[in-house]
Structure 1
Amino acid sequence: MAGTGSLTDVSDESTAESTATHPTATLITVCIGMFMLMLDMTIVAAALADIQSSLDASLSGLQWVVDAYTLPVAALLLTAATLGDRLGRRRLYIAGMAIFTIASLGCALAGDIVTLNIVRAVQGVGAALLFGVSLPLVAAAFPDPMKRAKAIGLYGAVMASATAAGPLVGGALVTAIGWEWIFLINVPIGIVAVALAYRYVTESRSDSAAPPDWAGTGLLTLALLPGVLALIQGNEWGWSSARVIALGATSIAGLFAFVAWELHAAHPMLDLRLIVRPSFAANALAAFAGAGTLVAATNFLALYFINTLGHDPFQAGLRALPLTLSALVVAPPIAVLHDRLPARWSLPTSMAVVATGLWLCTGADASTTWTHYIAGSILGGAGLGAVTVIASQSALSFVEVERAGMATGAVNTARQIGIVVGVAGLGAVFSHAVATEAGAGLASLTVGTMTVAVPDEQAGMITEALSSGAGQRVIEFVPDQFSAAVPALSQLARGATAQGLDAVMATSSAIAAAATIAVFVLLRIRRR
């Protein structure tokens, strides 16, 4: 059976190719890699506005900057873990880090948005390999249960710290030396990590590892990629267009084919008997919904802070701290108290906190400032930190010991799929809301007491730019003869973008609330 490797019996597995064991060095090496990966997931939000300006990217292009990286992680995570079990986790770690590092350099050198997104996908492949083998490497290096628990605790703390630091580090780099450096910073760190892994990390593998489920991996990709493409391009191509309908149908067919294959495969990448357990499904759903709402929405919030409110990337990173720090502060005590907090109450409560935080972020208009989002960010971040810990730890309590790797891998995969689908779907919501508001505003634009007739060509350019998240940068599309209308257009841009972000937050809150109810119900269904 494929999986992410059981963490409970890894000390009994065969090891080879290394002359000595260096557990501390192994932990440091793995933590370096995970810090880079988690940093890369949140650091890019601070650079989206500058990438858009530098590479003349549309909103769909920016959505792919996030999803081109996350989609390979979601599709390959479980298979990467199985591959590490068979070929050697150290070997896969070095390969993944090399791919990630080279792709990071390629991202920095990309001259257009298409090239950037292609290389981001390659970077995501490297990230999937690293995600799949990192935790089993730590477990193999610390066979003593007490030492292993401490090592995994440090591993989790590093991941949380990197996630929290991402917007601030990214903002500082973009403001000081340019967006390319959010990728270039990975290169020297990656080289050091490869050297450390080659020198100090002991090889480990499983004698009983199942073969990789390549067919399942391909079918999962087929289920995800066309659907995400349809969501991202739907506003541009038309939701009833043949292309969007065909992509949606292909995605649904891919999903059914994936389920059918996994049910009958000798060594499935995901044992669907786990998913049909209501208690386990609740944890996977919470991970999916938390990432697909709050995490996905933060990308649009960062774009709004920079392009509409006029903050530089570093200032935008500072304004993201209420969310990231609250998640960082809440997660450790929740992890410690997990056994005393029944999941049937703590998990839906945490999801409800996420939904409430998102709801507090609604109500924006043209006069809204960043302080409007402080309370919602703190509450939402606290809920997300709790959901992340509870979903991951509770998933293990519902499965047998030998399925521990499968369980954690499934929850992590659900989380990555949530980000992929959330960024794509919320982008469609944002674009539609902004276009509707901008179209109505341009049709009735006034300067003083005079109505301004904006030519159709300029109106279309302004609406398209606003729908892409350009915010106040839309003023560059205003011809000189309409300079008197710039203040009115600036106010329109701010109001339309606020309306788009408001739609994102309201939609996210509704989805999180629905997920709260579903999780609550699922955790109360007794398995027959």
Structure 2
Amino acid sequence: MRTWWPLVAICLGTFMFLLDTTVLNVALPDIGTDLNAPLSGLQWVLNIYTLALAVLTLPFGSLADRFGARNVYVAGLTVFALASLTCALAPNTGLLIASRAVQGIGGAAMSVSTFALIGAVYRGPDRAQAMGVFGAVTGLGAAVGPMLGGVLTECLSWRAAFFLNLPLVAGTVALTLRVLGNDRRPEAHRIDLPGTAVFALCTGALVYGLTRAGEDGWTPTVYALIALAAAALVLFVVVERRCVQPMLDVRLFGRASFAAVMVCVLASAAAFAALLFTSVWLQSDLGLGPVRAGLALMPLALASFATSLIAGRTLHGTSPRLIVGTGLLLSGIGCALQSGLDAHSTASSVALGLAVTGIGVGMMGPAMAGAVFAAVPAERSGMAAGAMTTFRQLGPTLGIAVFGVLFRTGSGAAPVEGLNRVYVAAAAVGVIGAALAYTFVRKPAPVPTAPVRREVSTAASGVNSTQR
């Protein structure tokens, strides 16, 4: 049993930073009332956290190589705890958003260290079993978030969700230092600071511009921000192509299979991005409290959790093209089933759609890594995994910003009208992503076991003949 304590330490941190991506979904209306914040401000409470995760995942991977995954993991936990404390005590939206950004920095350090720690501790069948448990914990973090956020908000306060992190971090740090070793590689390459800065400018300008578009309309400022994001994207490509050790080799996007998988990763986040606006409708239109709103969202999270457990075992060896494509298609169908709401709709009106979406999301999780690795050469697998993690965090951020424009545009006094537009858009994203997956995602190359056996047999025959 002692050999599994390192996995407990790793999973505790993973559970916390994933929990904080969803725990506030049902708490946002209470936060808005308490801090007198508009919806655009509330979006940034969520967006800034996932944006920090997306921007810093790749650079923190270099830090983990140089200074050791355990040290980076512990540092991330410490920053996460301190930021959680300032979030819990924040007297206004500005400080809450800033604290969430710092919390995202800690979360990025935690997230990028976990795979390295599992790989360093476990080998062979133990590693496969550890990754299975790790995947289940990942699904559990998403499943528990809305419900836990609702219970804490209704029974205590939205601030309790942040206070809860403090004892959990303290226990995780103590356990980590006791059971995990550290592996430093001083020769590892340095952080690509120019690439990181330009990528942050691109994503920040794009998300901020879309958020302002939803609040103020398509003003000259919004167009300027979108143009700045486009210019920064071009500059990022130039910088990365000239960098000796880039954080992301942009030439990988010249492979249709890799580019399609990255789009699929972004598309897989559409359903979760729509949850924010579903929560707003449940509480503002239907008058549900945080706990009942959390319960109403549970079909998606529970279906995703259960499906990921089953798919990881029963679909092993199935082509990622089929699994990812079908998962995205089911996600899109589920979002379509949630549309068509009107003034007489209730929470049960979206239950079936949420469950179908959850099944699709649960299918994709275990297969996405296989799809990424099949799309790139073996020597680029580490960079491809980092890109997948970055796009997975960027997806909800962009989704919330884009869907925010649809949710508010022309919705008048009925949020349900905007919510229907969000569902239709999310359904379209799922269907388009499925088409790309079915068309471009590659199957893993078969292992050439038979030719190797024949070659060895021939060589052995030659040796025996010489000896005779």
Work out whether the TM-score is over 0.5.
yes
- Give distance in 1, aligned partners of 2:182 and 2:419: 48
| Residues 84 and 103, structure 2, Cα contact 8 Å, conserved in 1 | yes
Tell whether 2:284 aligns with 1:284: no
Alpha-carbon distance, 1:339 to partner: 4.0
Tell whether 2:122 aligns with 1:122: no
Tell whether 2:446 aligns with 1:509: no
Tell whether 2:251 aligns with 1:273: yes
Alpha-carbon distance, 1:520 to partner: 2.5
List aligned pairs for 1:196-345, cutoff 5 A.
196-206=175-185, 209-239=188-218, 241-291=219-269, 293-345=270-322
Equivalent in the alignment of 1:433: 410
Equivalent in the alignment of 1:77: 57
Task: Report the residue type matching 2:363 in the other structure.
Answer: A
Equivalent in the alignment of 1:464: none
- Give distance in 2, aligned partners of 1:405 and 1:116: 34
5+ long unaligned stretches in structure 2: 446-468
- Give distance in 2, aligned partners of 1:197 and 1:345: 38
Task: Report the residue type matching 1:285 in the other structure.
Answer: V
Equivalent in the alignment of 1:152: 131
Equivalent in the alignment of 2:88: 108
- Give distance in 1, aligned partners of 2:156 and 2:316: 46
Percent identity of paired positions between Structure 1 and Structure 2: 35
List aligned pairs for 1:37-52, cutoff 5 A.
37-52=17-32
- Match of 2:341, SS? coil
- Give distance in 1, aligned partners of 2:314 and 2:371: 12
| Residues 214 and 406, structure 2, Cα contact 8 Å, conserved in 1 | no
| Residues 287 and 388, structure 1, Cα contact 8 Å, conserved in 2 | no
- Give distance in 2, aligned partners of 1:285 and 1:135: 23
Counterparts in 2 of 1:274 and 1:337: CA distance versus 1, 3 Å: farther
List aligned pairs for 1:10-89, cutoff 5 A.
23-89=3-69
- Give distance in 2, aligned partners of 1:353 and 1:214: 39
Equivalent in the alignment of 2:452: none
Counterparts in 2 of 1:336 and 1:273: CA distance versus 1, 3 Å: farther
| Residues 280 and 395, structure 1, Cα contact 8 Å, conserved in 2 | yes
| Residues 431 and 500, structure 1, Cα contact 8 Å, conserved in 2 | yes
Alpha-carbon distance, 1:387 to partner: 1.8
| 1:172 corresponds to which of 141, 144, 151 | 151
Alpha-carbon distance, 1:33 to partner: 0.3
| Residues 354 and 384, structure 1, Cα contact 8 Å, conserved in 2 | yes
- Match of 1:340, SS? coil
5+ long unaligned stretches in structure 1: 1-21, 439-492
Extract structure 1 runs of 4+ deviating beyond 4 A.
Answer: 524-527
Tell whether 2:326 aligns with 1:346: no
Equivalent in the alignment of 2:451: none
| Residues 228 and 421, structure 1, Cα contact 8 Å, conserved in 2 | yes
Please, which moves more after superposition, 267-276 or 330-339? 330-339
- Give distance in 1, aligned partners of 2:316 and 2:8: 28
Q: Deviations over 1:444-491 (max 9, x none)?
A: xxxxxxxxxxxxxxxxxxxxxxxxxxxxxxxxxxxxxxxxxxxxxxxx
Task: Report the residue type matching 1:270 in the other structure.
Answer: L
| Residues 433 and 503, structure 1, Cα contact 8 Å, conserved in 2 | no
- Give distance in 1, aligned partners of 2:70 and 2:55: 21
Alpha-carbon distance, 1:28 to partner: 1.3
Equivalent in the alignment of 1:5: none
Q: Deviations over 1:127-147 (max 9, x none)?
A: 0011111110111011x2211
Alpha-carbon distance, 1:431 to partner: 0.8
| 2:334 corresponds to which of 351, 357, 364 | 357
Counterparts in 2 of 1:60 and 1:409: CA distance versus 1, 3 Å: same
- Match of 1:320, SS? helix
- Give distance in 1, aligned partners of 2:60 and 2:106: 10
Alpha-carbon distance, 1:282 to partner: 2.4
- Give distance in 2, aligned partners of 1:89 and 1:344: 32
| Residues 284 and 391, structure 1, Cα contact 8 Å, conserved in 2 | no
- Match of 2:410, SS? helix
| Residues 107 and 120, structure 1, Cα contact 8 Å, conserved in 2 | yes
| Residues 65 and 185, structure 2, Cα contact 8 Å, conserved in 1 | yes
Alpha-carbon distance, 1:518 to partner: 2.5
Please, which moves more after superposition, 325-334 or 112-121? 325-334
Please, which moves more after superposition, 330-339 or 256-265? 330-339
- Give distance in 1, aligned partners of 2:22 and 2:276: 9
- Give distance in 2, aligned partners of 1:391 and 1:301: 26
- Give distance in 2, aligned partners of 1:346 and 1:191: 39
Alpha-carbon distance, 1:23 to partner: 4.7
List aligned pairs for 1:186-201, cutoff 5 A.
186-201=165-180
- Give distance in 2, aligned partners of 1:38 and 1:105: 17
Please, which moves more after superposition, 414-423 or 203-212? 203-212
| Residues 263 and 433, structure 2, Cα contact 8 Å, conserved in 1 | yes
Counterparts in 2 of 1:270 and 1:338: CA distance versus 1, 3 Å: farther
- Give distance in 2, aligned partners of 1:48 and 1:404: 38
Task: Report the residue type matching 2:100 in the other structure.
Answer: R
- Give distance in 2, aligned partners of 1:526 and 1:167: 36
- Match of 2:24, SS? helix
Question: Alpha carbon RMSD of aligned pairs, Å?
Answer: 1.8
Tell whether 2:99 aligns with 1:94: no
- Give distance in 1, aligned partners of 2:312 and 2:25: 27
| Residues 26 and 197, structure 1, Cα contact 8 Å, conserved in 2 | yes
Counterparts in 2 of 1:526 and 1:390: CA distance versus 1, 3 Å: closer
| Residues 26 and 202, structure 1, Cα contact 8 Å, conserved in 2 | no
| 1:367 corresponds to which of 324, 338, 344 | 344
Equivalent in the alignment of 1:420: 397
- Give distance in 2, aligned partners of 1:370 and 1:29: 37
